[in-house]
Structure 1
Amino acid sequence: MIACEFQPRIVSPFDWATLIFVVALGLVVIARTAFESRFNDYIRLLVSDKYTKIYRESSHLWSGFNIVLFVVHLISLSFFIQIVLAHNGWGEKTDWLLFVRIFTGLFVFILSKFLIEKIIAVTFDVEELIDEFNLQKVNFRTYIGLLLFPVSMILFYGDFITNTLISVIIITILVINLLTYLFSLKNHQNIVTGKLFYFILYLCALEIAPYYFIYYLITKN
């Protein structure tokens, strides 16, 4: 009789991350397949304004296309933040609980910020401007998430991350965000000019202050 020896299964600490990366990749494929024409216009967002002209109505904010890419954006940004934290000794990049916390924190932060913006927009009668501005932010930021997705995947499985590389990626993200504001100012120049004070107040209170406080808390701790 042949004796059977059971070998313990070796579970890689990267298994959970691989699964999430596959899910994110699947979401990109779904967006590419289900919205082929829209996706083709979308990937040229930085070099052409065709996409923003076609899908400029605020009703597109909650479209299936944007929701799918928003999830990809959250996943790729959460991985990148975790990689940066791990690089600085503030966690482990293979810690799935840390990823869940970052992902949940980002989701709650973005959702809370959106709801506060909505309340302020209605209060100061700039709802139309803020809705279109939010749509453009979603367009550009999900685009950032799409670009960041392969970068985060490579950095997660590789061991060549440096402070210079992190700085280049962060600066690129900030530049694309700046383009969002400039693009919005150009497209809504007449509206912004008439309500310049409220728009500046909005930028300072909801677009600059929250990120400054997050940066302050992270660096302080």
Structure 2
Amino acid sequence: MQAVDKIVQTNDWVTLLFLILFSGIVVLKLMNPKKVKENFFAFFRFTIIEDEDLEGVSFFKGFQLLIFMFSVLVFSFLVYQFKLYKLPQTKTGLTVFLSILAYVLLYFIAKRILEYALLLLFVIKNRIQFFVYLKNSYLYSVSFLLYIALILFEYAALGKQYLLIFAVFLFVLRYVFLIARNKKLIFNKLFYFILYICALEIAPLFVAFKLMF
């Protein structure tokens, strides 16, 4: 009889990924437990934002870089699961996840660079600093909540459709809260806000999904 190689698919890398993400949370709490709590409960935080909180908008800080990478990893794994749901015949495994991670990381970095460039170009950084702070806080809050949902999906048999519905709900909720708390700025500068959404949110996301799918 001819020998046949046995290919075994393993999900050990998924467990390792969750451990890395958990370690990231631990390090974040050691660095600044107050900001971790604020970002986790950003959706439910209706207190006045202090000036010292706005200092956290700076991207080139250890805490911000780490929470940024945490979010990128969470969103990459979510996109990976969405791809398996949308295209069940696609290959699975660490290689596929890493390719998605590269696209997601590139998307967020490019978006951050374009966003900062536009702020400097139009000299409106001070006026929308609060908007940028909330936008990032809500995004990080979504990533924390999705991390919990992904663990339940992976180890508690949570249906993939429920995971994706929950993810869509969180992203919609993010924009609802963002508009509600910045309605004066948004409606006073509605044209620029629509331009911002199209140029920095929708268009890059559309391109990224075209490349990944």
| Structure with bigger gyration radius | 1
Counterparts of 2:57 and 2:200 in 1: how far apart (Å)? 22
Cα deviation, 1:63-87, whole Å, max 9, x if unaligned, reads 3222222222111111111112112
Shift of 1:99: 0.8
Tell whether the 8 Å contact from 1:69 to 1:146 is kept in structure 2 after alignment: no
**Corresponding residue for 2:17?**
20
Question: How many correspondences in the alignment?
Answer: 205
Counterparts of 1:59 and 1:103 in 2: how far apart (Å)? 23
Query: 5+ residue gaps in structure 2?
Result: 1-6
**Corresponding residue for 2:202?**
208
Tell whether the 8 Å contact from 2:153 to 2:163 is kept in structure 1 after alignment: no
Does 2:40 align with 1:43? Answer: yes
Equivalence map 1:1-221=2 (5 Å)? 13-50=10-47, 52-53=49-50, 54-57=52-55, 59-88=57-86, 89=88, 91-93=90-92, 95-157=93-155, 159-183=157-181, 185-186=182-183, 189=184, 195-214=189-208, 217=210
Query: 5+ residue gaps in structure 1?
Result: 1-9
Higher relative contact order (CA 8 A, sep 6+): 2
Shift of 1:136: 2.1
Shift of 1:210: 3.0
Change (3 A) 1:22 1:162: closer
Counterparts of 2:118 and 2:58 in 1: how far apart (Å)? 21
Question: Could you state the TM-score of these two structures normalised by the residue count of structure 2?
Answer: 0.79
Change (3 A) 1:92 1:170: farther
Change (3 A) 1:196 1:65: same
RMSD, aligned CA: 3.0
**Corresponding residue for 2:4?**
none
Q: The residue matched to 1:80 in structure 2 has which SS? A: helix
Question: Could you state the TM-score of these two structures normalised by the residue count of structure 1?
Answer: 0.76
Change (3 A) 1:162 1:40: closer
Tell whether the 8 Å contact from 2:107 to 2:204 is kept in structure 1 after alignment: no
Change (3 A) 1:90 1:69: farther
Counterparts of 2:211 and 2:169 in 1: how far apart (Å)? 18
Tell whether the 8 Å contact from 1:16 to 1:96 is kept in structure 2 after alignment: yes
Counterparts of 2:198 and 2:109 in 1: how far apart (Å)? 18
Matched AA of 2:82: V
Identity %: 20
